[in-house]
Chains A and B, each alone.
Chain A
Amino acid sequence: DTGVSQDPRHKITKRGQNVTFRCDPISEHNRLYWYRQTLGQGPEFLTYFQNEAQLEKSRLLSDRFSAERPKGSFSTLEIQRTEQGDSAMYLCASSPGQSTGELFFGEGSRLTVL
């Protein structure tokens, strides 16, 4: 399968713990995005990378959230000191350099904070 891969698919954690999600984009795509989606809502933008550079970051992304894409390939999204409000589906997407808006999404990582 050559689509966007996310790991883990499901994560249950206790409030206050740190969690990390990994995204492997489609190999020839240099753009990578993170979105968050809660039940009944559309995806909400978190951050965008072009190669290894983080070029856009939502104002909604608190200091507890950090994302990296160290070699311009896979990316990680870390949430520190999780809160119950962080419970959501975290979606990763990628796109080729010439594309605008046509994103290829992974199946997401579902986070439940108890």
Chain B
Amino acid sequence: EDQVTQSPEALRLQEGESSSLNCSYTVSGLRGLFWYRQDPGKGPEFLFTLYSAGEEKEKERLKATLTKKESFLHITAPKPEDSATYLCAVQAGGFQKLVFGTGTRLLVSP
């Protein structure tokens, strides 16, 4: 069964303190790995899609990387507005459904 595990569950950073979030996965025939951001009371917001090991994507202070077993979301010099829950999801070949992890709650203090 496809599975996604995210760590840590929660992370507290000072503004400007860089860190990484981890997403480990097992999936039958990875079609894509996705990162979403979710603010309280809102639906998830798409950030990145990664398709193959070695691929990297960047957006502002965020950089996502992918290996054959895990993905990392690197946050460089975070700001308080980066505070949110970051969700990782995988999609298996032949299916449309995404399997999500439980997320990492990030709090960035000024």
In the complex the two chains form, is B43's CB within 8 Å of A91's CB? yes
In the complex the two chains form, is A44's CB within 8 Å of B49's CB? no
B98 contact set on A, CB distance < 8 A:
43, 45, 101, 103
In the complex the two chains form, is B43's CB within 8 Å of A100's CB? no
- Tell me the count of chain A residues lying within 8 A, CB to CB, of chain B: 24
Instruction: Given A58-B97, A101-B49, A103-B98, answer yes or no on A42-B103 (Cβ-Cβ < 8 Å).
Output: yes
In the complex the two chains form, is B100's CB within 8 Å of A55's CB? no
Q: How far is the CA of A44 from the CA of B4 in the complex (A)?
A: 12
**Nearest Cβ on chain B to A102's Cβ, whole angstroms:** 5
- Tell me the count of chain B residues lying within 8 A, CB to CB, of chain A: 23
**Nearest Cβ on chain B to A49's Cβ, whole angstroms:** 10
Tell whether A107 is near chain B: CB-to-CB under 8 Å.
Answer: yes
B89 contact set on A, CB distance < 8 A:
42, 101
A contact set with B: CB distance below 8 Å? 4, 31, 33, 40-45, 48, 55-56, 58, 91, 93, 100-108
B contact set with A: CB distance below 8 Å? 4, 31-32, 34, 41-46, 49, 87, 89, 91, 95-103
A-B contact pairs, 30 of them (CB 8 A): A42-B4, A42-B102, A42-B103, A43-B98, A44-B100, A45-B97, A45-B98, A45-B99, A55-B96, A58-B97, A91-B43, A93-B43, A100-B31, A100-B32, A100-B49, A101-B31, A101-B49, A101-B91, A101-B98, A102-B34, A102-B46, A102-B49, A103-B44, A103-B46, A104-B46, A105-B43, A105-B45, A107-B41, A108-B42, A108-B43
